[in-house]
């Protein structure tokens, strides 16, 4: 291996290899050093090779997803079925090798295998092999779309995960209120659906209470498929009330979650004074407004 390789890996890794073997780049690398380089390429994004590998991986995921979508079109599948089959297996073999390499270079293979992305990586290749036994199961390969989450790593969007974490915290904090709200909506849909069944009967499509409840849910959520519609004056009046009620309840869960988001945002942005413990500061504050102590922030 020449010194050109040093330019394509991180300085820290090059120093680590040279410390272990000063002449490592003058002859063939050992399996240990080669494994370290492969690990940096697969799991790192700070080097040219690392970024290139992840970009190629993302494009492979996107192209394979497009191929799966086109394969679901009967006319396109009839004309290009053989080409799509070859493309599918080509990408599956590529993703299989990538998964095996990740297991090989990972310091803790078991932890990676059972991690979220590790499970997704495995699920992204299983359907193709499963299709040999179960016809049509290869369409489950759309799960590869979840692997696009790696774009956060490539485009350095990890800083936005703090906002996502705040939103998750807000949703968890409001789950009891949202559950009560959903219970009330379901109860309301059951009552209104039953009323419509009693008012309309089976002549206008309300031939059973479950079907009437389905109509009430569709109307209450302002979807309005129009497959069932009341024909009596009383039914139409009741339907109008349900539509208005649907618009009025839309804001309820939004308001609940918004309050919790505001609370979570305030908790995360709170700056605490080490001297007096005051937390009610302006974000740009450099000194405590209560005792005058200099404020130390994480940033």
For residue 262, give the CATH number of its domain: 1.10.287.70
pLDDT value for 295: 66
Residue 36 lies in a domain: no
CATH code of residue 117: 1.20.120.350
Phi-psi region of 11 (alpha: psi -120 to 50; beta: other; left: phi over 0): alpha
Tokens read off for 219: 């109307």
| Partner residues linked to 294 by β-bridges | 287
CB 98 within 8 A of CB 42: yes
**pTM (predicted TM-score):** 0.55
212: containing domain: 172-269
pLDDT value for 2: 45
Residue 59 lies in a domain: yes
Number of domains in the chain: 2
Could you identify the residue written with the tokens 């599956």? Answer: 92
**166: which residues sit within 8 A by CB, 6+ positions away?**
261, 264, 265, 268
Q: Are residues 235 and 180 in the same domain?
A: yes
Residue 277 lies in a domain: no
Residue 189 lies in a domain: yes
- Distance in angstroms (rounded) separating the CA atoms of residues 198 and 206: 9
Could you identify the residue written with the tokens 């680590």? Answer: 16
Residue 33 lies in a domain: no
Residue 288 lies in a domain: no
- Distance in angstroms (rounded) separating the CA atoms of residues 193 and 208: 9
Last residue of a domain, one of 111, 128, 156: 156
pLDDT value for 277: 57
pLDDT value for 215: 92
Q: Name the stretches of the chain with pLDDT < 70.
A: 1-31, 33, 45-46, 135-142, 147-165, 264-286, 288-299
pLDDT value for 70: 86
| CA distances to 9, 39, 98, 111, 146 from 103, in Å | 21, 10, 9, 10, 19
Residue 246 lies in a domain: yes
Residue 6 lies in a domain: no
**154: which residues sit within 8 A by CB, 6+ positions away?**
45, 51, 54, 55, 58
- Distance in angstroms (rounded) separating the CA atoms of residues 269 and 95: 41
Last residue of a domain, one of 104, 121, 156: 156
pLDDT value for 1: 46
Q: Are residues 183 and 84 in the same domain?
A: no
For residue 21, how far is the Cα from the chain centroid? Answer: 43
Tokens read off for 246: 């649907």
Last residue of a domain, one of 129, 156, 183: 156
């Amino acid at each position: 291996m020449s010194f050109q390789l040093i330019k394509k890996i991180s300085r820290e890794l090059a120093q680590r290899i040279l410390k272990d073997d000063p002449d490592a780049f003058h002859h063939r690398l050992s399996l240990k050093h080669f494994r370290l380089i492969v690990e940096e390429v697969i799991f790192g994004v700070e080097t040219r090779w690392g970024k290139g590998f992840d970009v190629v991986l993302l494009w492979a995921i996107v192209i394979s997803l497009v191929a799966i979508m086109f394969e679901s079109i009967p006319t396109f599948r009839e004309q290009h079925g053989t080409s799509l089959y070859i493309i599918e297996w080509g990408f599956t073999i590529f993703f299989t090798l990538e998964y095996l390499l990740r297991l090989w270079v990972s310091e803790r293979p078991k932890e990676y295998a059972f991690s979220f992305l590790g499970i997704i990586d495995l699920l992204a290749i299983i359907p193709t092999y499963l299709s040999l036994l179960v016809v049509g199961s290869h369409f489950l390969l759309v799960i590869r779309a979840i692997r696009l989450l790696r774009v956060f790593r490539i485009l350095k969007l990890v800083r936005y995960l703090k906002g996502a974490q705040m939103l998750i915290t807000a949703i968890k904090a409001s789950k009891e209120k949202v559950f009560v709200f959903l219970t009330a909506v379901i109860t309301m849909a059951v009552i209104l659906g039953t009323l419509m069944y009693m008012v309309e009967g089976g002549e206008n499509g309300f031939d059973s209470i479950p079907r009437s409840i389905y109509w009430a849910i569709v109307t209450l959520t302002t979807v309005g498929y129009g497959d069932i519609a009341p024909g009596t004056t009383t039914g139409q009046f009741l339907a109008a009330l349900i539509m208005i009620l649907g618009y009025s309840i839309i804001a309820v869960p939004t308001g609940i979650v918004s309050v919790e988001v505001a609370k979570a945002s305030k908790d995360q942005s709170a700056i605490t004074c080490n001297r007096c413990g005051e937390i009610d500061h302006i974000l740009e504050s450099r000194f405590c407004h209560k005792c005058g102590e200099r404020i130390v922030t994480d940033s």
